[in-house]
Chain A
Amino acid sequence: QLQLQESGPGLVKPSETLSLTCTVSGGSISSNNPYYWGWIRQPPGRGLELIGTIYYTGNTYNNPSLKSRVIISVDSSKTQFSLKLHSMTAADTAVYYCAKGDFYSMDVWGKGTTVTVSS
């Protein structure tokens, strides 16, 4: 049974780059698990927003509103994938989730990690 766990800094300064990692347990990011692996965020008291996804082949699909700031990649171990979000501002303060699914829906989620942007 696949499980996901986010890790990374809880506090990021404005203009810096956020780096988060999602560790996959119970499987790997490979053709054995032909899923999309994604990052979704939720600002305090607000709704969900897709940041982007990566297919096991390495193809990535990012939210057009964030596209130029986002890099999603898979680690060589194939048991982790990561998010880099550049030029952070207070508006990027949110709970960040990693998840997996068929692109149209995400059926396994991590518990989420809170990221605050503040100097």
Chain B
Amino acid sequence: QSALTQPPSASGSPGQSVTISCTGTRSDVGSYNRVAWYQQHPGKAPKLMIYDVSQRPPGVPDRFSGSKSGNTASLTVSGLQAEDEADYYCSSYAGSNNLVFGGGTKVTVL
């Protein structure tokens, strides 16, 4: 069982938006602005999409945005495109030099 809770699946039509939640506790998500989101296509390594809750690494489209409220972080993908279909994982610093991950959400572009 993963430390952070994500919905197993989410979907949207091309051009629409989809939001994925990542629920932790006040010991991890709720205490630190150190939430990251990764995109993983089948058979590929994860790719960092968001770090520090809402920051985008160079090269990541601004269609991807992150936010946090209380113990829950969210990733929103706007203007869905076919290539956005992938698994998405969140992670959070949990104190004491520990990093925890969510179980992943499969995003389907309808």
Residues of A within 8 A of B (CB): 40, 46-50, 61, 63-64, 97, 101-107, 109-112
What separation, in Å, do the CA atoms of A112 and B51 have in the docked complex?
21
Secondary structure of the A side of the interface?
Answer: loop
Return the contact of B48 from the options A50, A64, A106 (Cβ within 8 A): A106
Interface contact A48-B93, CB-CB below 8 Å: no
Interface contact A47-B89, CB-CB below 8 Å: yes
B30 within 8 A of A: no
A48-B91, A64-B98, A111-B45 known; A105+B103 contact, CB < 8 A: no
What 1/0 mask marks residues of chain B from 41 to 53 whose CB sits below 8 Å from any chain A CB?
0001111100110
Interface contact B52-A104, CB-CB below 8 Å: yes
Interface residues on B, range: 20 to 34
Contact residues in A for B104 (Cβ distance below 8 Å): 46-48
Interface contact A49-B48, CB-CB below 8 Å: no
B24 within 8 A of A: no
What separation, in Å, do the CA atoms of A14 and B2 have in the docked complex?
24
Besides A47-B101, A105-B51, 9 new A-B residue pairs in contact (Cβ under 8 A), listed by A number? A46-B104, A47-B2, A47-B89, A48-B46, A97-B46, A103-B97, A104-B32, A105-B52, A106-B46
